[in-house]
Amino acid sequence: MAILKFRTNVKCQGCKMAIATLLDAEPSVKKWKVDIYDPDRILTVDCDPPDPARIIELLHRAGYQAEACETN
């Protein structure tokens, strides 16, 4: 399992609910969270197999932007 991180424009609980449907339905996503209080609105996704392009595609489908960022 890999942990992927993304900068997003998810800003509120309503935004989180909008992406939840798609992320929860994605078989590769085991769990996820987004920190709406971080200036970069960091989305953290535990997934297997890791596919950053797929996560970005899901957020775009929901009307949000995502950009992969470095993990530590």
- pTM for this prediction: 0.92
pLDDT at 70: 74
Structural domain spans, the chain: 2-69
Q: What is the pLDDT of residues 18-65, one digit of tens each?
A: 999 999 999 999 999 999 999 999 999 999 999 999 999 999 999 999
Taking Cα atoms as reference points, which of 33, 37, 41, 32 lies closest to residue 1?
32
Spatial distance between the Cα atoms of 48 and 21, rounded to a whole number of angstroms: 18
At residue 21, φ and ψ (nearest 5 deg) are: -60, -45
The confidence score (pLDDT) of residue 14 equals 94
pLDDT at position 1:
83
pLDDT of res. 71: 58
Could you tell me the fold of the domain covering 2-69? Alpha-Beta Plaits (3.30.70)
Beta carbons within 8 Å of 58's beta carbon, 6+ residues apart: 19, 22, 23, 26
Assess contact for 28 and 47: CB atoms under 8 A. yes
